[in-house]
Structure 1
């Protein structure tokens, strides 16, 4: 008999079906036994005749029985089965009881046994939402004439100089894990005009906070023949909207399970100049701030924008040259400032982007001004001798966006197997 998924059971009431999945929960009342079977689409109650020995929870099982309506069963349906077949038995109790798993408690235990705790419905739901967001990212950009590219993850030099890099022994040479595909995606603008990439990146940062990972999924975009960074910001606004629409449509069950309603994206996201954002934080909110916005300043600014503009989204643009990478295009009308931006969502930076320098001589000068050796970027610089168009782009941190959209207490819950300052396993 062909297997049926839990999500499809409402179409088979009164019919005999076969289900396969995991033994999520069990209860033996002697004359009758109750089992919750979990598959990739959901959970259903199975009623079995008593007398048999039930396997341990998380055993892989198969049951065949009749679908009946029941007000007392989760979801209003249950399966009355003749028996239960064990496909692969669990040989030990799980270190965390999956049905009682709650990702807001005992985070270190949940992460230490991630290989099994990830099976919990609330644990896997954020990753289903994230997959939908990435799917929306790809679908929108494909339709907008972008080409997906795949850049090296073992590199000779960092995209932002020599900081925050993980060294790698590469035969007789020293190499590094890529901290960004930035330099390569710029090169590929000269090939395809519009490119994007979905891939991991690595940052050797000492942070051990609820918002930092040392390996994360970066959603990168770069586009050529632009007028300014504001054109890139407009594209990102539409892209974010499309990503959330895809998540609403294809991850509805996961969102419902988490009790989350995704926020709207305004037609035009509010835009603040960096200097004005600093002034608001310092003078109106009374919070100390340095040259750049720190974590506390971003949170305070997010709350301010929420109250003032009625949205969780805000662009902060025209950052000073001193706090942006060497490839950031200076603002010709505002000396000392750049055509750059960050997108803040609920008080957290989820995107960094801007217009890039596209002339060879200007790049060499910028490298020197940032204290970097142009020779170390020789391979990257060469392409700018051959007519690179004005271009710009951005990168979205997939886990940070997922964390803030879903209200997760820690960004590590937005990655299947997180890598942070202290974690290399599982």
Structure 2
């Protein structure tokens, strides 16, 4: 049965209704108290006669049920309460103040009380937007004839060549938490699905403790067959982001206004430059002479600012990363480069992608050149013996995209239950 607090009062003027929710705020004025009741749909003011209804022990965030008559109050509605039933009484003071506009506490305190913190309207709004980013991703790809897949999160080897892996005991064998669904995406292309996507958790055993890294995060992955090169993927991602942002504007207008953010307009084409061009700009314009084959986090921020100033774009694709910096399955481009790309959004990399090797012998050679033993990847490698189309794909970090879109300061603000170097609870 659908229960919707705000709609219930708006559609039942002068009628008796039953409302259930959390006590958001109480203001007592003599024999009258004004109580704000909250549920997922919003807040309704309830007017209580303290002579008729005892609320002296009622603390904020208690869950209650009230019955009363809906009245109009200027341009809004309110409930004249006849009786009140306590469903779950809060007996302690709240450890964090959640009913103000913003929670005045540091990120660790907020995360220590994560469930409570998410009752705050602004924090709650972040995760509603994040959910619709994921929905928009799925919706667009389904329209483009992609099939959703579900791949294992316990694996026998790492997709990146065995580095940065969380090891675990799997009965009498050694196994790992999945860094990426990469191998399985490719195998599903080979299975004849051609176009596949997945939204799922991935795990990186990186010893980072920064505002932009998590050890468990949500990756929005896709892989598609019969591409020409990485430019086909870049064009697809532009359309994808355009549709995701359109979807958010349609579904999250209330949250966008509450968070006071602007969803950027995406043109049909976004700036594209090679990594080498970006490095030259950073060396010449910003004196980052230490950069040679890759850019660091500061470089991403600087190149993002440069593109914003020159092209008025929040996005830039950087292409042709070196073979040294890309996994063994990445399609080579000449001797030292690859058909690969990153997407930088407001100074942060949110996407990594590229064309994959589809030839068995070339892939085997790539493994050996990376110092890997092809026998360790036999199950994956054998797939390429039996007809693999030219293909490629990309992965978007959901929390990073949410963070930059909503202009959050720390990626942990975009993760409901954080797993980083220090945190395993809640």
| Aligned equivalents of 1:176, 1:7: Cα separation in 2 | 48
Distance change in 2, residues 1:387/1:255 (3 Å): same
Question: Could you tell which deviates more after superposition, 188-197 or 103-112?
Answer: 103-112
Whether 2:102 is the aligned partner of 1:99: answer no
Report how far residue 310 of structure 1 moved: 0.6
Report how far residue 386 of structure 1 moved: 0.6
Name the residue aligned to 1:281.
Answer: 282
Whether 2:294 is the aligned partner of 1:292: answer yes
Q: Is the 8 A contact 1:23 1:35 kept in 2?
A: yes
Name the residue aligned to 1:182.
Answer: 182
**1:158-237 alignment to 2 at 5 Å?**
158-191=158-191, 192-237=193-238
Report how far residue 176 of structure 1 moved: 0.5
| Aligned equivalents of 1:182, 1:237: Cα separation in 2 | 21
Report how far residue 399 of structure 1 moved: 0.2
Question: Could you tell which deviates more after superposition, 282-291 or 160-169?
Answer: 282-291
RMSD of aligned alpha carbons: 1.7
Name the residue aligned to 1:116.
Answer: 116
**Cα shift readout 1:217-248 (whole Å, capped 9, x = no counterpart):** 00000000111110011111111111111111
Distance change in 2, residues 1:423/1:297 (3 Å): same
| Aligned equivalents of 2:70, 2:238: Cα separation in 1 | 46
**1:309-348 alignment to 2 at 5 Å?**
309-331=311-333, 334-348=334-348
Classify the secondary structure of the residue corresponding to 1:98: coil
Report how far residue 2 of structure 1 moved: 8.3
Q: Is the 8 A contact 1:7 1:42 kept in 2?
A: no
Q: Which consecutive unaligned segments of at least 5 residues does structure 2 have?
A: none
| Aligned equivalents of 2:87, 2:126: Cα separation in 1 | 28
With normalisation by structure 2, the TM-score equals 0.95
Distance change in 2, residues 1:104/1:141 (3 Å): farther
* Structure 1 ranges of 4+ moved more than 4 A: none
Distance change in 2, residues 1:146/1:133 (3 Å): same
| Aligned equivalents of 1:295, 1:7: Cα separation in 2 | 47
Count of aligned pairs between the two proteins: 421
**Cα shift readout 1:326-361 (whole Å, capped 9, x = no counterpart):** 110012xx4311100001100000000000000100
Classify the secondary structure of the residue corresponding to 1:296: helix
**1:4-153 alignment to 2 at 5 Å?**
4-7=4-7, 9-51=9-51, 52-54=54-56, 55-71=58-74, 76-100=76-100, 102-103=102-103, 105-153=105-153
| Aligned equivalents of 1:387, 1:366: Cα separation in 2 | 18
Name the residue aligned to 1:303.
Answer: 305
Report how far residue 11 of structure 1 moved: 3.7
Report how far residue 282 of structure 1 moved: 1.1
With normalisation by structure 1, the TM-score equals 0.95
